[in-house]
Amino acid sequence: MHLVVPFAAPLSDAGRAALQALALPNLQRLLAVLGEAQADPGDEWSLSPPHERVLARALGLARPDDGLVPLAALEARRAGLLDEHPREGWAWLRPVHWSLGTEQLSLHDPATLQLDASGAREVLGAIAGLFLSEGFELHDRWPSGWLCRHEALAELPTASLDRVIGRNVDHWLGADPRARLARRLQNEVQMLLHAHPLNVAREALGLPAVNSVWISGTGRTPARELPPGLVVDERLRGPALAEDWARWQQAWRELDAGPVAQWAARHAATPGAALTLCGERASLTWTAAGRASALGRLLRGLGAAWRAPRPAAMLEAA
């Protein structure tokens, strides 16, 4: 069993303050028993956030290239789409809304588009010709997005959508020459959708325009699947991306009372069981020892739990 928690530690000052004010008793008792964590350090400017790097290692990519965590290819294999092209590149193509502020161009969470399957098909129908004319193959996997296949995607680093939401798009577009085709198509999508009837109708309903797309999850099909015992709990993601720290705190409390407490009860003495907490820069992984060793740690931990570091202190570097 490997429990992975993305967005466990925010980067903003307001988010850090929310973390410092948060009591997580089950996690604190558990960390007192598990001992030292293995860190995967990084910074907030990497294309692949820490939780995606955890998935890359679980897929057998010991040192994944930044921006090449092949999550789209993984989904393509699960959907039975690989057939005679197992080594071509895949990507997620997602409709998004960009807004121009006073200082930057920002990308909004795609969930704010409120697109249903019918609306998504309408958008895909409008832009598909641009991609098909360049040899892309498109597959509708709504609500996750659209899968696309093209040889240019095999080695094209792209920024995770989790990196870009709410931030300046310009930084994440990059200047890699391998991205020229993708960037040109992105520009053509923006021109096509500007004042498109589907957006006129959306704006009449008070909905944000679908005015761009984001390409991510690029790379070739990994050699293996994710381990069956790996669970990614994403309940902190939405509140963190929305910078709703009261809701984020509540989600953390629910996580502490639920999956964290359950992991402690069922897996703290299971050799190899792991707990990974991910921030925006780094991840921290605690691995359970064997039962005998775990019992010894538990006895020591019962006496030391009251003076164990608070989870917020451990997550400061994440």
Instruction: Find, among 35, 68, 70, 59, the residue nearest to 274 by Cα.
Output: 35
For the chain, how big is the Rg over CA atoms in Å?
21
**Would you give the end-to-end CA distance of the chain in angstroms?**
22
Residue 103, sorted as left (phi over 0), alpha (psi -120 to 50) or beta, turns out to be alpha
Each domain of the chain, given as residue ranges in start order, spans 2-45+230-314, 71-219
Confidence (pTM): 0.90
Alpha carbon distance 31, 264 (integer Å):
10
Please, which residues bridge with residue 3 across strands?
A: 231, 275
Query: In which residue are the tokens 């310009």 written?
Result: 170
Instruction: Find, among 132, 147, 145, 138, the residue nearest to 219 by Cα.
Output: 147
Per-position pLDDT tens, the chain of length 318: 999 999 999 999 999 999 999 999 999 988 888 878 899 999 999 999 999 999 999 999 877 789 999 999 999 998 888 876 667 899 999 999 998 876 788 999 999 999 999 999 999 999 999 999 999 999 999 999 999 999 999 999 999 999 999 999 988 987 788 889 999 999 999 999 998 999 999 999 999 999 999 999 999 988 889 999 999 999 999 999 999 999 999 999 999 999 999 999 988 888 888 999 999 999 999 998 754 444 444 444 444 444 456 788 888 877
Query: In which residue are the tokens 């870009």 written?
Result: 164
Residue pair 43/276 in contact (Cβ under 8 Å)? The answer is no
- β-strand 146-149 against 137-140: which pairing, if any? antiparallel
SS (H, E, C) the chain: CEEEEEEEECCCHHHHHHHHCCCCHHHHHHHHHHCCCEEECCCCCCCCCHHHHHHHHHCCCCCCCCCCCCHHHHHHHHCCCCCCCCCCCEEEEEEECEEECCCCEEECCHHHHCCCHHHHHHHHHHHHHHHHCCCCEEEECCCCCEEEECHHHCCCCCCCHHHHECCEHHHHHCCCHHHHHHHHHHHHHHHHHCCCHHHHHHHHCCCCCCCEEEEEEEECCCCCCCCCCEEECCCCHHHHHCCCHHHHHHHHHHHHHHHHHHHHHHHCCCCCCEEEEEECCCEEEEECCCHHHHHHHHHHHHHHHHHCCCHHHHCCCC
Q: How many CB atoms lie within 10 A of CB 83?
A: 7
